[in-house]
Each structure stands twice: as structure tokens, then as C-alpha cells.
Homo-oligomer: A and B are copies of this chain.
Amino acid sequence: MALLKSSKLVSAIGAFSPAMGVFPARASSWWTEVQMGPPDPILGVTEAFKRDTNPKKMNLGVGAYRDDNGKPFVLSCVRKAEALIASKQLDKEYLGIGGLGEFSKACAELALGPDNEVLQSKRSITVQTISGTGSLRIGANFLSRFHTVARDVYLPKPTWGNHTPIFRDAGMQLKAYRYYDPATCGFDFAGALDDISKIPEHSVIMLHACAHNPTGVDPRPEQWKEMSEVIKRRKLLVFFDMAYQGFASGDIDRDAWAVRHFIQEGHNVLLSQSFAKNMGLYGERVGGFTVVCADAEEAKRVESQLKILIRPIYSNPPMNGARIASTILHTPDLRTLWLEEVKGMADRIISMRELLVANLKKEGSTHNWQHVIDQIGMFCFTGLKPEQVERLTKEFSVYMTKDGRISVAGVTSGNVGYLAHGIHQVTK
């Protein structure tokens, strides 16, 4: 049997099987040229974290919410929704290609507001997708197929790592506009306007609706207004990525303000939504993709083409998470409970930010850590340099991505002091 382990001798196996001819079946291989691909940058962080035996270790790479005991948090409204659903003993028949209708409706209302003119005139189409990634990819594929006037997609610099392969694998070209200012750890407003004003007409521009990932830096409303103007002048196709509605400020309407403003200003946007974070439905894969169209007739045409695009990717989306999300959004008690729980998560993150800065001051740090409080959402771009990040990991077992991004979700009242201590040591 040792023969089985050696590819050189595998061809000899041909002689053992009576049904085989002399043709050495396994001598060649279909996948000889397939290279080992690089490991995922975030996963690498978690893997190293798992191997670490230091009891004080902290995983600040994880992009998933943790409670104040550092544990995953399944929302109470989710458990209640699950119980409701289970009691109905529903069947498991295929959803339509575009997903659960009541979910798609609620999803659009959540983003746009129930009284939005777009919804009243039925001039948008929302399809259920496989969370945010699935939504972005459907959007990218749709652009690749139907937005043939321009192949360029402009991403903010920096942006979520997966944006690049999503658009690239869909056949689009990636470009960037200035966004983060390392000098201030804040928004490079002048740089963004400058770059955007030069983007060729009809290009696609991706905007993070709130809680920018990875920087946590969001434009202020007055800045959003100016960006809307420039983008309008340049005739760009706006693609909003909203993965943190409710999670950023704790207020779902406030977090959707930019999306709604742009629509009001006449941008017929594309919009990706995720319920991974704001409903804690990570592994259930719940999301939506919306196209705001000129009118209802166009929305119908777009819908038909979205279905034709989706059908050969996965036929129809997974039901479980959409049923949970839909139940929460449509059941008044559950919706109210959800809004409280989302605010609770956002508030805990905000209080960790404040605690971290307070502890840094207590440690005696003379740096300006205001950005830690100003930044929004799950992530914080600390401003730490790669060598400082490396020291934090090696000397304190505090794990984060090389760019100095920490997931504030991994910070608890129990470990924030230790984190501050470590950060101070590597930056003093």
C-alpha cells in the first residue's frame, strides 16, 4: 500500500486492476500546474492566534462581533424568530431565483425607508443574495454584462480586501480614489474630491455607506453632500456597500442617510446590503442586492436579467437566514427588540473605543488617540506601523492585521487595559 503514496509508482497500479488496460491512468494529472495559493491574510491571523498559548492573548483580527466576555453573540430576536419559524413547520421548497419575496421587500425598506419614492413607484428591484459578498459579486457580474460603456470600478483607498477580487473576477478593472489620510487617521476629503473630479464619465464608484472597512472613517453629511455633487457632475454609477446599517451609529436611519441622500439627489444607485453583522447572521448568509432604476418597467427588465445571471451561479438562495431576517423585520416586537440589540452592540463598541483611549492616557501615552473615538463601526485603523504591529503580536500576543487595523469587537472591559498597555509599549 505504500505504493499508493508515491506518484512515481502510481502507474504500476495499472497492472493490479484487471479491468484496466495497459494505459497508466494516474501517471499524469490534471492539476500538476496548479500552484499552492497564498493563505488568506485574515485567516492567517486567526490561525496564529489559535496556536498561541499565552492566556492573555487577544484576537483583534476577527471581523465578527463579540460580547463583553469575548464570546460570539446570537441576538435574542434571532432566537425568538427561529422559534417562531420552527413552530410553523414550514417546508423546504426552493425559493424563487430572486429569493424570499417578503425578505427582499423588507430589506429594501430597511435601506431606503418605507416611504421612499423609489419603493412607492416600484422603480427598484431587490434580490436576496448570499450575504454581502454574494450581493457585491452579483452586482459586479451585472455591471460586467450590462454596463459595457466603462469597465472601471473605483474603490476607496484602502478598502475591504475582498472588493478587489470580486470585481476583478467579474471582469471589471480596478482603480482607486484617495480616501484615508494617514496623517490625520481621518478622511482625506480634499484628496477624495480631487480624485473623484477626474474619474472618467460613466465609471463605477464604490462608496461604503457607513462604518468604512477597514478604516472606520466616514464622511460627515456635509462632505457626503459635496461628494454627491461631484459624482453627479462626473456622471458616475454609484455602487453603495452597506454592510453595517445599524451597527455603525446604533441608528438604522442615520446609518442609511448617505444612501438615501444620494437617491434623493437623483443617483440611481446599486446597493449591497448584509445582515451578517447587524443581525449576527454571519454563517446564514443573508443579504440583498438592489438596483434603483428609471421606472418600474426598467426594474422589470433588470430583474429578469438578474435572474438569468443568478440561475447558473446557484439557482436560488438559501432560505433559513432570509426567513429569520424577514421575521424580525416584519414582526413589530422582534423588530423593536432588534433595534435595541443593534444599538447595544454599537454602544459596546463605542464604549470600548472610549475605554481604550482613556486607558492609553492612563498609561501615559502622549500620542493623539482621538481617531480611535472618531472612527466608526467595528474596525479601528490604529495608525500602528507594521513593525509596531509585529511587536504587539510577538511580545503581547495581541493579534491584528499588518495594516494596524483592529476589530474593536474583540476588545472587552476585561482586556482593554492590557491592550492599552501593549499599544503604549510599542508606541512610546
In angstroms, Cα B298 to Cα A305, docked, is 38
State the A residues within 8 Å of B (CB). 4-7, 10, 13-14, 17, 19-21, 23, 25-26, 29-37, 39-40, 43, 64, 72, 74, 78-79, 82, 86, 89, 91-97, 117, 121, 123, 130-131, 133-134, 137, 146-147, 162, 165-166, 168-169, 225, 229, 232-233, 237, 264-268, 276, 280-285, 291, 293-296, 298, 300-302, 304-305, 307-309, 311-321
Residues of B within 8 A of A319 (CB): 283-285
B165 touches A311 (CB 8 A): yes
Question: Contact between B162 and A282 (Cβ–Cβ < 8 Å)?
Answer: no
Contact of A37 among B26, B267, B307 (CB under 8 A): B307
The 6 A-B residue pairs with the shortest CB-CB distance, nearest first, are A25-B266, A318-B318, A165-B312, A283-B319, A29-B294, A320-B320
Query: CA A5 – CA B312 in complex, angstroms?
Result: 33
Closest partner residue, chain B, to A170 (CB atom)? B312
Q: Are B29 and A283 in contact (CB under 8 A)?
A: no
Q: Given A72-B93, A318-B321: A298 and B232 within 8 A (CB)?
A: no
Min distance, Cβ A24 to any Cβ of chain B, angstroms: 8
Residues on B with C-beta less than 8 A from A29 are: 268, 293-294, 298
Chain B residues contacting A166 (CB-CB under 8 Å) are 312
Contact yes or no, B283 A316, CB < 8 A: yes
Return the contact of A133 from the options B37, B43, B146, B314 (Cβ within 8 A).
Answer: B314
Contact of A294 among B7, B64, B293, B300 (CB under 8 A): B7
